[in-house]
Each structure stands twice: as C-alpha cells, then as structure tokens.
Copies of this chain bind each other. A is one copy, B any other.
Amino acid sequence: MDKYKVTHRLLRQSIKSLVNRQLTSNNPIYRFISAFPLGNGGRNPQLYRSFGSLATKVERNPSFSSLNSDDLSYFKGVLGEKNVVQDEDRLETANIDWMHKYKGFSKLLLLPRNTEEVSKILEYCNSRRLAVVPQGGNTGLVGGSVPVFDEVIINVGSMNKIIAFDKVSGILVCEAGCILENLISYLDNQGFVMPLDLGAKGSCQIGGNVSTNAGGLRFVRYGSLHGNVLGLEAVLANGDVLDMLGTLRKDNTGYDLKHLFIGSEGSLGIVTKVSILTPPKLSSVNIAFLACEDYLSCQKLLSEAKRKLGEILSAFEFLDSHAMDLVLNHLEGVRNPLSSAVHNFYLLIETTGSDESYDKEKLEAFLLHSMESGLISDGVLAQDINQASSFWRIQALMRAGPVYKYDLSLPVEKMYNLVEEMRARLGQSANVVGYGHLGDGNLHLNVSAPRYDDTILAQIEPYVYEWTSKHRGSISAEHGLGLMKANEIFYSKSHGTVQLMASIKKLLDPNGILNPYKVLPRSLLSYS
C-alpha cells in the first residue's frame, strides 16, 4: 500500500472516529488555538530578558507638570483614599508591560469606579497638564499600556459591570473594565458568542480590546471590532463624556465617531463603556489539523475552504515546520499529532455551525476532496489531536531564547516569501519561524537568536518594514503601534493621512496628555 493510500486511510479513520463532543474553552485543542494566534509569551516575565526602557530614545514633554501633594489630595477627594495607589509593589506591576520590555516610572495609579470619576480625573489632569496612561489588562505587546516617564496610570479595571444584554438582538452593553474571558463566559451562558477571542482573554479588558482594535481568533468569521462594536462611551482629555453608546445595528445619523476611538490606543480618549453585537452560539464545532508540503497548497486550500466550507469556516491558521520544531523541542510531552512524517506546513481549520451532522459531513467531504487533489498530505480531526494535550502552549517559541517578533499583514500570496527571504538573509545566525492567521493575511514572523544582538537586529530592521511597505502590507496587523512602532507609521500610512491623524489628536487632546509618545510619530507632535 503506498503512502498516499495509507495516509488517506488514516484520515478516513480519523474522520470516522471523530467524537461528537463540544469543544469548550477548557478543551486542550481549543486552548491550543486560543493561544496560537497572538503568540504571546509565557506569563512568567523572569524567563525573558528585559529590553530595558526605550524611554531613553524619547524626551519627556517639558510642558507636562509633575505630581504634587495638591494633586494627590484632589484625587483622594474624588476617588477615595484606597483608589489612589502609591504602593511601590503595585506601581511596579503597573509600570511594566507583561513582556517586560517596557518600564515606566509612574508614581501614581488611579482606580476610578465610574465614568464620572474618569471625567473628573481627566478634567483635572488636563487643567494641570498631567500626562496620563489609560490601562486595562496591560497585555499589550507594543508598550502602549505602560507609562514612558511619570505619567499617571488610570486603570479602569474596577469598572467591570455588565449593564444590559438583549437576548433578541444579541447586543451586550458593559463597562470597559470587563475582562474578556468573563464576557465570553457570560455570553456562553446566555447562548451567545463574543465575536472576539484571543490568547490574553484571561487578563485583557474589553475597553483595551476596543482601544487597540484587537483582532484575534474569530476575526476570519466575525470580522473586526469596527464592524461589531455598535457604540461606545468615551471620556475626552478635557473630561467631556462622549455618549456614543448606541445599541443599533444601523444608524446613519452623522459621522460615526466611535471609529476614531477603536484602535487609537487610548490617545484620543478613555473608553468607559462598550456596546457590542454578539452572534448566537452555534452548537457544532469541528477542528482539523492538516499537513501541506508547500505554501502554494496552503493558499489553494484557503481558497477552497472559503468556498466549500463557506459559512461554517471559523479559523484558518498556519505554522511552518520551523515553528513546529520549536514547539516539539521546547515543550515537554508534546508530539506532532501527525506522527507519520515531517511536513513543511501545518494548518489548523476550525468550523462552527448550527448542525453537528451536516457540518461534519461538509468538513469530511472537503478534506477527502483536498486529499484526493493532493493539497494535503496528512490530517487528523479533533479526536486524534488531543494526545498533544499541552500542544497549545505555542509560547514555547518564546522559551527558545530571545525573539524578535513582527506582526504583519501581507497579501496571502506574498506572505511566506518574506519568511523565506529572512531565512536566506540571516543564514545560520538565527532561526526564522512563520505562523499566523492565514485566513486574515496576518503573519507572525518570529526571529529567534542565541542572544539579542545589534548585528542581527540590523539585518532584520528596517528590512522587514521596508519589505512590508513595498508590498503594501501593514507593519502592525493587530498589535498596534504603541511606543514600539510610533515612529514607523509611515511604512504603512501615507504622509497626508498621518498628518490628519495628528490634527485630530490636537483637536481632541490639545495638551497631548493622553498616552503621550505613543501611536503617532514624535516629529508630528511638537510640544508647545
């Protein structure tokens, strides 16, 4: 029996033995996918080298004031003693991002409990020219949610109430500090689905998700927050509360200003409430883990999947053999679920639909057809993958030493060329791995090296940004610009557009107190 037939038989067996159980967020395979897309590092910061603060490259805006005792008295009067935090340990946590790459020197963390308090704080800070950093779960990857210097940290985590849920329309209204995972659970109990899911869900907050326009796992199915967020409440730098908290699918009455706050990383206002459209939970989830021998086949499979699986396709992720090697070499007890051979590419396809048996048959037919046409060389369905119970810990990629991480949007057909070019360019000096959300054209390019090394960095940057720009890609698909890439914005946006962004920033925040040094290039935000 030749290899094709063996594999074919294996796949058929896999399909036949597929169990009908639901995949919940506790299921290891589900967790594998959950953790996969963001490629977040592990939660233990000691494992990673701190890059130290990049603040040395940035000059403190001399127009900002410094905190004094009157300020503290004012904040204590508004928030109460215990919500004005000066404790060093708590400040240490709030000053450092969870990759331990950025560290600020704030002396004050404020914990408002409602919109009115946020408004009072901001009005005061604006009048005093005290710079602030809005902070949610502090799970950002570009240094956007920690101070650069001594900015006052405003954390909205105490504002975590669900305000309303309409079961007819599936519209959820909640405060900005709600943790994403709690919203996911709440909706699950109501028979609905959060259109957003990502690796950091246990810590990240919906206000932060909205402010950073988080992408994540369900993007390929439900699209971006610009489509799903129906309304917002935001507090402007001067304390004005902007009520845009609509709960309607359709509303064409004037400019849709909420979009300014989606993805502006807290630099135009602090999001305090969110209204979001949630689709009904569908009962049937199926997962396939497949092998392809070349990138062209991955692409073709994506096209086929969009057409043949169509409305039930809910994730289409890929990783290359280098990414797989890292996982297998650095995570104990994990083995390749496709044990028969080493393959060049691996794909993870998820379907979500309303009918167990139809969906399964549809996926089976699709896989058999793909097998017969030679697009996939091996594959397993949900049941067969669960021996790799800790496989989801893709963050092993981070444990293999220092890693330069890039989150790029590129045309799907060009995407893997960059990985190959980087591999040729860097030779033996580093290990280049590629993985990401193929369905969205989102590549996570990780370059791991024995140590952080300026020679290697010079080989990567600005080459990666230039290459991305040349192919009209985005240098930040979903992570945002933050402090890390504020000055690189021109690789992805035209000068006129960035100028207009700066004008809007000045219009909404004339003193520049909101999340300074982030998002926009410092050259455009001259200090008065």
Q: Does residue A390 face the partner (Cβ distance < 8 Å to B)?
A: no
Q: Does residue A342 face the partner (Cβ distance < 8 Å to B)?
A: no
A168, A491, A498 — which one has the most chain B CB atoms within 10 A of its CB? A168
Q: Name the B residues within 8 Å of A441 (CB-CB).
A: 169, 248-250
- Which among B268, B354, B480 is the interface contact of A309 at CB below 8 angstroms? B354
Q: Does residue A440 face the partner (Cβ distance < 8 Å to B)?
A: yes
Q: Does residue A47 face the partner (Cβ distance < 8 Å to B)?
A: no
Cβ-defined contact, A253 with B520, below 8 A: no
Q: Does residue A226 face the partner (Cβ distance < 8 Å to B)?
A: yes
A282, A493, A501 — which one has the most chain B CB atoms within 10 A of its CB? A493
A219, A226, A242 — which one has the most chain B CB atoms within 10 A of its CB? A226
- Which among B223, B242, B353 is the interface contact of A223 at CB below 8 angstroms? B223
Given A224-B227, A440-B250, A475-B253, does the pair A311, B169 have CB atoms closer than 8 Å?
Answer: no
Stretch at the interface among A123-131, A197-205, A299-307: A299-307
Q: Which residue of B lies closest to A503 (CB)?
A: B507
Q: Does residue A157 face the partner (Cβ distance < 8 Å to B)?
A: no
Mark out the residues of chain A between 467 and 492 whose CB falls within 8 Å of any chain B CB in the assembled complex.
472-481, 485, 489, 491-492
Can you list, as one digit per residue, whether each of A2-35 has a CB less than 8 Å from chain B (1) or not (0)?
0000000000000000000000000000000000
Given A249-B442, A250-B219, A250-B224, does the pair A494, B244 have CB atoms closer than 8 Å?
Answer: yes
Q: Does residue A262 face the partner (Cβ distance < 8 Å to B)?
A: yes
Q: Name the B residues within 8 Å of A254 (CB-CB).
A: 264, 481, 489, 492-493, 497-498, 501, 519-520
A168, A226, A250 — which one has the most chain B CB atoms within 10 A of its CB? A250
Cβ-defined contact, A248 with B307, below 8 A: no
- Which among B213, B223, B477 is the interface contact of A248 at CB below 8 angstroms? B477
Complex Cα distance A168/B441, Å? 10
Can you list, as one digit per residue, whether each of A53-65 has a CB less than 8 Å from chain B (1) or not (0)?
0000000000000
- The complex is assembled from copies of this chain, and their number is 2
Complex Cα distance A323/B21, Å? 47
Q: Does residue A155 face the partner (Cβ distance < 8 Å to B)?
A: no
Q: Name the B residues within 8 Å of A213 (CB-CB).
A: 252, 256
Query: How many residues in A have their beta carbons less than 8 Å from beta carbons of B?
Result: 94
Q: Name the B residues within 8 Å of A501 (CB-CB).
A: 254-255, 257
Q: Name the B residues within 8 Å of A306 (CB-CB).
A: 170, 279-280
Q: Does residue A450 face the partner (Cβ distance < 8 Å to B)?
A: no
Q: Interface of A with B (CB < 8 Å)?
A: 166-170, 191, 212-213, 215, 219, 223-224, 226-228, 240-244, 246-257, 259-260, 262-264, 268, 279-280, 282, 299, 302-303, 306-312, 352-355, 358, 361-362, 409-413, 437, 440-442, 472-481, 485, 489, 491-494, 496-498, 500-501, 503-504, 507-508, 519-520
**What 10 A-B pairs come out closest when comparing CB atoms?**
A227-B227, A259-B259, A310-B354, A251-B474, A311-B311, A250-B477, A248-B409, A253-B492, A243-B494, A358-B358
25 A-B residue pairs with CB within 8 Å: A168-B302, A168-B413, A170-B306, A213-B252, A223-B223, A226-B227, A240-B496, A242-B496, A243-B496, A249-B440, A249-B441, A250-B474, A250-B477, A251-B477, A252-B476, A252-B477, A252-B479, A253-B493, A254-B498, A254-B501, A259-B260, A308-B354, A309-B354, A354-B362, A358-B362
20 further A-B pairs in the complex, CB-CB below 8 A; given A219-B250, A247-B472: A169-B412, A215-B252, A224-B227, A227-B228, A246-B472, A248-B477, A249-B442, A250-B440, A252-B480, A254-B264, A254-B492, A254-B493, A255-B260, A256-B263, A257-B504, A279-B306, A280-B307, A280-B310, A311-B354, A507-B507
